[in-house]
Chains A and B, each alone.
Chain A
Amino acid sequence: DAKTTQPTSMDCAEGRAANLPCNHSTISGNEYVYWYRQIHSQGPQYIIHGLKNNETNEMASLIITEDRKSSTLILPHATLRDTAVYYCIAEYSGGGADGLTFGKGTHLIIQP
């Protein structure tokens, strides 16, 4: 599993886009980038994942650099309910049963 580096904490104003960076400079070609978040006192929640191409779903967008050494999770219109710890994970998932390796994550605080 590639090591990931994220800022410890970030602030964002409500209604603005929240851009959460993640560095995974040692990622290998078959490792995906996953993002999960954990709202206080809840279990983690899957957000999005990608390999090479940028991805978008109803929750967020994932931008992966061409060299795949870093990525950015974008919450387009942050709300107070988006305050959570966001985890970036870089792992190979080749069809076997793989648990996830969580780092320390970024504590995102949405300010009213």
Chain B
Amino acid sequence: SAVISQKPSRDICQRGTSLTIQCQVDSQVTMMFWYRQQPGQSLTLIATANQGSEATYESGFVIDKFPISRPNLTFSTLTVSNMSPEDSSIYLCSAGHSAYEQYFGPGTRLTVT
């Protein structure tokens, strides 16, 4: 198994600003992903964080809005850029060695005012 931690756990930000969320895994993992969960909704995959290369984004998500870094096998960041109230969501990181079994962080609750 893997233990995932995220920072910050929550934040309130003003529109037009950016927030960087950190995801730390307690062991080296092959795969890391970022998801968004809007209030009362299910999770939506934003992108796959690729170690040493550009992230792979899902339809509807672009690098300019959600730049992602993954400098090594245990760490990734997601930035939510030029925020608007519609970006208010919970952002979750997941990681694992196989697609069959992913471990999720506790999430970052973002409120944009």
Q: How far is the CB of A54 from chain B (nearest CB, A)?
A: 16
Scoring B residues 77 to 108 as 1 if CB is less than 8 Å from chain A, else 0, what string do you get?
Answer: 00000000000000010100011111111110
Q: Which 3 A-B pairs have the closest CB atoms?
A: A43-B104, A93-B99, A99-B45
| B20 interfacial contact with A, CB 8 Å | no
Which residues from A are CB-within-8-Å of B42? 87, 102-105
Majority SS of interface residues in chain B? strand
- 8 Å CB contact of B100 from A34, A99, A105: A34
What is the size, in residues, of chain B's interface with A at 8 Å between Cβ atoms? Answer: 26
Pick 28 A–B contacts, CB within 8 A, sort by A: A34-B100, A43-B4, A43-B104, A43-B106, A44-B43, A44-B104, A46-B102, A49-B100, A91-B99, A93-B99, A93-B100, A95-B99, A97-B31, A97-B33, A97-B50, A97-B56, A98-B31, A99-B33, A99-B35, A99-B45, A99-B48, A100-B33, A100-B94, A102-B35, A102-B42, A102-B43, A103-B42, A104-B42
Cβ contact within 8 Å between B100 and A32: yes
Contact A102:B44 (CB < 8 A) given known A42-B106, A43-B94, A43-B105: yes
Residues of B within 8 A of A (CB): 4, 30-31, 33, 35, 42-45, 47-48, 50, 56, 58, 92, 94, 98-107
